[in-house]
């Protein structure tokens, strides 16, 4: 853990806290943190600061901050905040939460003030959380360094736990905290990052991940722009679920390439989180459901789920939900011995296939469920169990809790519970299930989505991408030679062993005839014109050129105002056109694979991953394509060379990883043949110039 990351743990575990701008006026924001710290049993030193002096909640007020504290809460008017941060640096305060509003969230003038705040923090050596944020809470020590009204609630549940929560939104974030506490989900800490002028949500998550008392993390964020930080978080092995709000259209530069048009913001976020084994939530309930799954002491060994139910309808809903995960989870195929053993246990009117319907007979035969579960969890083909119940009443609950808990503990197989029924039927059921380490949900669908997230965050990485080049880390990453046109770019690809059709530039009609003969008598004539990305639409590509038609083809293409490239024409009748490309994103350079050639954007069938990618990543990308079956041979067609396509994808990643970010690369189409692949067209757009470029 870096020193800067270590500093941030004072957000939930500080020995002393200053409240700068504190006031004793009832209900004032400057009073609430002091009031809440005292009310929730914080044992550290509290230092209210206000030039007017006096007392706040009975504590003496210092006219100014005179000595170091672990954490400062800055609650002064926005224009005064930079000076306060400088004072924090002078006395040795490492971290400050700027709760004041009136910064970038208010417009251009506020943005200028926020830059002054950041400058002051950097000069003073103080890490700043916020501004425009509600604060942070450490639930174990009662460190309620916040003015959220949640902590003034008269019957606030105290549920310390082992989950860390970081949220960019204050009000929504602490509303989420209240829902977590209501459902009994124990939190270690909750931190609101506000405008993120300095400390980001991912910074907080890295600090939480370093805590030995934190087992998993949850986050709400409106911006994700630090791919390396996501990689570091994934590498900790601690489960993480992120609720990313907001989507955006691809930027104007993305229109320059098919890849850019496909690599839209939300698609990249989704693909990156999948790639790194980070669960993605789509609403607050989903986020908390994932947090509940993370509390299970057991992890699935794979994606195969056995459903055990007392209701045929619940079993059908569970099976549908598993299918809807798109292959992330599958229904386990039970072994013949398992089915045979279940036939001796399950009533004749039940079902021994997966989903296993043990029927409502469990109400009269209390051992039936235990026996069935023991058989199911002993099946080596079962990685997780979903137990579905509907109306449960009275003491049935404890028998079921005991059976489920024993099966999980004995086998190490995670067991999730879908309990579809009102709480008043068995008021203690949910709490009993939670205490037994059994995540419980109101519907089969929600339980399945949570199990999918648990598997995603538990799944081991078979291969690990390489570390970035040291010069890339230093900001001086190498760039390719001048490759702004297709012939030179293809020469670069050919030099790295990538399969590019033979061809060359020609300087007149007679030379075009000679070049066509050199490549076998049938060729493609292409325009090489600066900034002309989509040559086909401009009439800059002529196929089927022979020695007889070469002069006319040359004249037509040359009329576009550039050079003319003659290349071998590759027969495509038994091939499939795909795209392999790279485009920039807020998270970093993204490699995309799609189907369709010129129809790529129309078909919108693509998969993306953050650079660098591994061969395992490339394999997953191909399997995610809706058209992947075409590669295996379709309706009598030959199987295509998927291995060669994988080789190309990995080679492109290895070639470009470490180039300065911001470039676009389009290999489109790439023709996948029964034997090998061919890069038929290639385009490169360099990154925007930066200061110092010539």
The DSSP result for 441-502, as a single string, is ESSHHHHHHHHHHHHHHHPPPSS-PPPPPHHHHTT-----SS--SHHHHHHHHHHTT-----
Provide the mean pLDDT of the chain. Answer: 90
Higher pLDDT, 265 or 663: 663
Mean pLDDT to the nearest integer, 71-81: 97
Please count the residues of the chain.
694
Q: How far is CA 656 from the centre of its chain?
A: 23
Half-sphere exposure of 442 (CA within 13 A, CB side): 7
Q: What is the CATH number of domain 502-568?
A: 3.30.1490.20
Residue of 609, 615, 605, 544 lying closest to 578 (CA atoms):
605
At residue 638, φ and ψ (nearest 5 deg) are -75, 150
d(C-alpha 219, C-alpha 192), whole Å: 10
Locate 554 and state its tokens. 């040359």
| CATH of region 576-685, choose from 1.10.540.10, 3.50.50.100, 1.10.3720.10, 3.30.470.20 | 3.30.470.20
d(C-alpha 135, C-alpha 158), whole Å: 18
Give Cβ neighbours of residue 490 (< 8 Å, ≥ 6 apart).
500, 503, 679, 682
d(C-alpha 671, C-alpha 187), whole Å: 52
The 3-state DSSP class for residue 639 equals: coil
Give Cβ neighbours of residue 220 (< 8 Å, ≥ 6 apart).
166, 167, 168, 169, 172, 173, 176, 201, 242, 243, 245, 287
Above 80 in pLDDT, residue 62? yes
Give Cβ neighbours of residue 673 (< 8 Å, ≥ 6 apart).
570, 574, 575, 640, 641
pLDDT of the residue at 221? 94
Above 90 in pLDDT, residue 302? yes
Half-sphere exposure of 522 (CA within 13 A, CB side): 5
Query: In the chain, which segments carry CATH 3.40.50.261?
Result: 296-458
The mean-pLDDT minimum among 75-79, 158-162, 178-182, 285-289 falls in 158-162
pLDDT tier at 470 (50, 70, 90 boundaries)?
very low
For residues 387 and 417, the answer to whether their CB atoms sit within 8 Å is yes
pTM, to two decimals? 0.90
For residues 206 and 229, the answer to whether their CB atoms sit within 8 Å is yes
pLDDT of the residue at 60? 97
d(C-alpha 453, C-alpha 458), whole Å: 8
Contacts made by residues 647-650, CB under 8 angstroms, sequence distance 24+ = 648/498, 648/499, 648/580, 648/677, 648/679, 649/580, 649/591, 649/593, 649/613, 649/618, 649/621, 650/613, 650/614, 650/615, 650/618
pLDDT of the residue at 361? 78
Higher pLDDT, 225 or 391: 225
Give Cβ neighbours of residue 410 (< 8 Å, ≥ 6 apart).
374, 377
For residues 325 and 214, the answer to whether their CB atoms sit within 8 Å is no
Above 50 in pLDDT, residue 254? no
The mean-pLDDT minimum among 249-258, 461-470, 571-580 falls in 249-258
Query: In the chain, which segments carry CATH 3.30.470.20?
Result: 576-685
Q: Which residue, chain included where needed, has tokens 């991408």?
A: 465
Residue of 323, 383, 274, 300 lying closest to 624 (CA atoms):
274
Listed ranges 156-160, 318-322, 357-361, 432-436; the one with the highest mean pLDDT: 318-322
Above 60 in pLDDT, residue 249? no
User: What CATH fold (topology level) applies to the domain 296-458?
Assistant: Rossmann fold (3.40.50)
pLDDT of the residue at 105? 93
Residue of 361, 275, 273 lying closest to 312 (CA atoms):
361
Higher pLDDT, 65 or 394: 65
Higher pLDDT, 563 or 251: 563
Alpha-carbon Rg for the chain in angstroms: 30
Above 50 in pLDDT, residue 416? yes
Above 60 in pLDDT, residue 694? no
Q: How far is CA 547 from CA 179, 501, 522, in A?
A: 75, 18, 8
pLDDT of the residue at 390? 84
Tell me the pLDDT tens digit for each residue of 651-690: 999 999 988 888 999 998 999 999 999 999 998 888 887 6
Above 80 in pLDDT, residue 282? yes
Tell me the pLDDT tens digit for each residue of 481-497: 556 688 999 999 999 99
Higher pLDDT, 291 or 250: 291
Query: In the chain, which segments carry CATH 3.30.1490.20?
Result: 502-568
Q: ∠ at Cα 151 (149, 153), nearest 5°?
A: 80
- Helices and strands (H and E) in the chain: how many: 23, 30
Q: What is the sign of the dihedral through the CA atoms of 606, 610, 616 and 618? A: positive
Buried b (16+ CB within 10 A) or exposed e, 602-615: eeebbbbbbbbbbe
Give Cβ neighbours of residue 344 (< 8 Å, ≥ 6 apart).
none
Looking at the structure, give the CATH architecture of the domain made up of residues 3-223.
3-Layer(aba) Sandwich (3.40)
The 3-state DSSP class for residue 676 equals: coil
Above 90 in pLDDT, residue 572? no
d(C-alpha 610, C-alpha 471), whole Å: 19
Give Cβ neighbours of residue 405 (< 8 Å, ≥ 6 apart).
415, 436, 437, 438
Mean pLDDT to the nearest integer, 298-313: 95
Residue of 367, 241, 342, 259 lying closest to 611 (CA atoms):
259
Tell me the pLDDT tens digit for each residue of 331-378: 999 999 999 999 999 998 899 999 999 988 776 676 888 999 999 999
For residues 586 and 669, the answer to whether their CB atoms sit within 8 Å is no
Give Cβ neighbours of residue 49 (< 8 Å, ≥ 6 apart).
18, 19, 20, 21, 22, 61, 62, 63, 64, 65
pLDDT of the residue at 533? 65
Give Cβ neighbours of residue 427 (< 8 Å, ≥ 6 apart).
none
Give Cβ neighbours of residue 176 (< 8 Å, ≥ 6 apart).
165, 167, 220, 284, 287, 288
Q: Which residue, chain included where needed, has tokens 């003496």?
A: 60
d(C-alpha 515, C-alpha 503), whole Å: 7
pLDDT tier at 473 (50, 70, 90 boundaries)?
very low
d(C-alpha 473, C-alpha 153), whole Å: 48
d(C-alpha 454, C-alpha 328), whole Å: 11
Query: In the chain, which segments carry CATH 3.40.50.720?
Result: 3-223
Host H or E run for residue 364: none
d(C-alpha 264, C-alpha 256), whole Å: 13
């Amino acid at each position: 853990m870096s020193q800067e990351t270590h500093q941030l743990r004072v957000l939930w575990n500080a020995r002393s806290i200053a409240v700068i701008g504190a006031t004793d006026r009832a209900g004032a924001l400057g009073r609430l943190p002091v009031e809440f710290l005292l009310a929730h049993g914080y044992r550290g030193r509290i230092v209210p600061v206000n030039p007017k002096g006096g007392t706040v909640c009975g504590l003496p007020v210092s006219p100014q901050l005179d000595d170091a504290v672990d954490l400062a809460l800055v609650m002064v008017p926005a224009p005064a905040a930079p000076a306060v941060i400088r004072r924090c640096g002078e006395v040795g305060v490492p971290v400050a939460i700027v709760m004041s509003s009136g910064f970038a969230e208010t417009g251009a003038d506020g943005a200028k003030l926020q830059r002054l705040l950041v400058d002051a923090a950097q000069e003073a050596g103080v890490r700043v959380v916020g501004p425009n944020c509600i604060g942070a809470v450490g639930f174990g020590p009662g460190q309620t360094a916040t003015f959220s009204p949640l902590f003034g609630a008269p019957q606030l549940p105290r549920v310390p736990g082992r989950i860390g929560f970081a949220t960019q939104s204050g009000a929504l974030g602490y509303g989420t905290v209240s829902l977590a506490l209501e459902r009994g989900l124990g939190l270690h800490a909750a931190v609101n990052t506000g405008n993120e002028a300095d400390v980001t949500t991912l910074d907080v998550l890295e600090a939480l991940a370093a805590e030995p008392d934190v087992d998993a993390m949850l986050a709400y964020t409106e911006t994700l722009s630090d791919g390396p930080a996501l990689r570091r978080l994934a590498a900790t092995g601690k489960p993480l679920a992120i609720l990313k709000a907001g989507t955006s259209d691809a930027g104007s530069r993305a229109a320059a390439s098919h890849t850019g048009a496909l690599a839209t913001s939300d698609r990249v976020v989704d693909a990156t989180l999948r790639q790194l084994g980070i669960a993605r939530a789509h609403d607050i309930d989903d986020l908390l459901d994932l947090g509940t799954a993370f509390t299970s002491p057991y992890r699935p060994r794979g994606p195969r789920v056995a459903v055990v139910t007392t209701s045929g309808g619940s079993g059908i809903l569970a099976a549908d939900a598993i299918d809807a995960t798109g292959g992330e989870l599958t229904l386990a195929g039970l072994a013949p011995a398992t089915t045979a053993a279940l036939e001796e246990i399950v009533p004749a009117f039940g079902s021994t296939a997966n989903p296993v319907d043990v029927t409502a007979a469990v109400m009269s035969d209390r051992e039936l469920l235990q026996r069935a579960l023991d058989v199911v969890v002993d099946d080596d083909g079962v990685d997780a169990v979903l137990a579905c119940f509907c109306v449960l009443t009275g003491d049935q609950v404890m028998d079921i809790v005991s059976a489920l808990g024993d099966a999980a503990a004995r086998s190490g197989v995670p067991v999730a519970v879908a309990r579809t029924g009102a709480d008043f039927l068995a008021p203690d059921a949910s709490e009993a299930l939670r205490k037994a380490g059994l995540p419980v949900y109101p519907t089969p669908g929600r339980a399945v989505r949570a199990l999918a997230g648990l598997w995603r965050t538990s799944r081991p990485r078979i291969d690990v991408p390489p570390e970035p080049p040291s010069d890339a880390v230093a900001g001086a990453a190498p760039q390719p030679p001048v490759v702004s046109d297709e012939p030179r770019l293809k020469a670069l690809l050919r030099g790295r062993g990538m399969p590019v059709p033979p061809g060359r530039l020609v300087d007149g009609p007679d030379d075009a005839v000679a070049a066509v003969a050199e490549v076998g008598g049938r060729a493609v004539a292409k325009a090489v014109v600066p900034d002309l990305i989509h040559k086909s639409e401009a009439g800059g590509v002529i196929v089927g050129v022979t020695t007889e038609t070469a002069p006319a083809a040359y004249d037509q293409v040359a009329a576009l105002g550039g050079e003319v490239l003659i290349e071998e024409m590759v027969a495509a009748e038994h091939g499939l056109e795909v795209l392999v490309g790279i485009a920039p994103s807020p998270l970093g350079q993204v490699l995309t694979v799609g189907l369709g050639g010129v129809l790529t954007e129309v078909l919108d069938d693509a998969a993306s991953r953050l650079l660098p990618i591994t061969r395992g990543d490339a394999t997953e990308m191909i399997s995610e394509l809706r058209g992947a079956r075409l590669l295996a041979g379709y309706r009598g067609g030959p199987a295509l060379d998927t291995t060669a396509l994988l080789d190309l994808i990995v080679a492109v990643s290895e070639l470009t990883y470490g180039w300065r970010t911001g470039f676009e690369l389009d290999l489109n189409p790439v023709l996948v043949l029964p034997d090998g692949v061919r890069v038929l067209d290639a385009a490169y757009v360099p990154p925007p110039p930066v200061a110092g470029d010539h």
